Amino acid sequence: MLALAGVLALGVAPAAADSLLVNGTTRTFVLQAPATRPAPLVIVLHGKTQSSDDMMTRTSWPLIAKRDGFAVAIPMD
């Protein structure tokens, strides 16, 4: 919870869940994107016992993406 508070305090845009269809399979992910587009995209993969929520709140990816102006996407499954 402390990490999430730090993210919000620094003005990082909230991440949004989204999905896309790839070869007949729906892929879901969390995306935090800057307002300026186009922007580079970093896809952050998590381990089997982790979730996209863990990666958004327990890592620095959202803060670094905000600071450096890139989008970060984290698969939900």
d(CA 19, CA 75): 9
* Whether the predicted pLDDT of 71 surpasses 80: yes
pLDDT at 11: 47
Q: What is the mean pLDDT of residues 54-73?
A: 93
For 23-45, how does the pLDDT look when each residue is reduced to its tens digit (9 = 90+)?
999 999 999 999 998 999 999 99
Residue 26's DSSP bridge partners are: 21
CB atoms within 10 A of CB 52: 20
What residues does each domain of the chain span? 2-75
d(CA 17, CA 53): 11
Residue 67 banded pLDDT, cuts 50, 70, 90: very high
In sequence order, what DSSP letters do the residues of 28-45 get, joined into one string? EEEEE--SSSS--EEEPP
d(CA 64, CA 56): 11
